[in-house]
């Protein structure tokens, strides 16, 4: 008789992002929480997701964001990280 065992492990981690900018680069702070904001391109690179997905997330209004006078979309790195963590947990729970 064969005994089958399933083992599932879930690991929670804390992340810290260090973003270095040139001295001339202006840091934008989120109006809602005061945390740093990044362009959609920078956020996509840091989190390893497509810019298109970033804009889809923004459209749900689940994250803090703003648009600059020049038309660039800035997204709060903290609210995006929280959204992605929740999304990963929910996806895992469904499986």
What local confidence, expressed as pLDDT, does residue 94 receive? 67
**Residue 8: pLDDT above 90?**
no
Residues in the chain: 95
What local confidence, expressed as pLDDT, does residue 65 receive? 92
What local confidence, expressed as pLDDT, does residue 52 receive? 93
Long-range contacts for 43-47 (Cβ within 8 Å, ≥24 apart)? 43/75, 43/77, 43/80, 46/17, 46/19, 46/77, 47/80, 47/81, 47/84
The whole-model pTM stands at: 0.65
pLDDT band per the 50, 70, 90 thresholds, residue 16? low
In sequence order, what are the residues at sequence separation of 6 or more whose Cβ sits closer than 8 angstroms to the Cβ of residue 76?
30, 32, 33, 35, 36, 37, 63, 64, 65
What is the Cα–Cα distance from 53 to 59, expressed in whole angstroms? 10
**Residue 77: pLDDT above 80?**
yes
Yes or no: domain 36-94 corresponds to CATH 1.10.1660: yes
Give the model confidence (pLDDT) of 21-74 as tens digits: 655 556 788 888 888 888 888 888 888 889 999 999 999 988 999 998 888 889
């Amino acid at each position: 008789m064969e005994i089958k065992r399933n083992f599932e492990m879930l690991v929670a981690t804390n992340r810290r992002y260090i973003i270095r900018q040139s001295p001339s680069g202006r840091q934008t702070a989120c109006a809602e929480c005061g945390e740093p904001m990044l362009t959609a391109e920078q956020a996509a690179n840091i989190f390893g997701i497509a810019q298109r997905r970033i804009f889809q997330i923004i459209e749900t209004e689940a994250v803090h964001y703003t648009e600059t006078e020049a038309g660039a979309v800035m997204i709060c790195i903290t609210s995006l990280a929280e959204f992605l963590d929740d999304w990963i947990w929910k996806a895992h729970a469904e499986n």
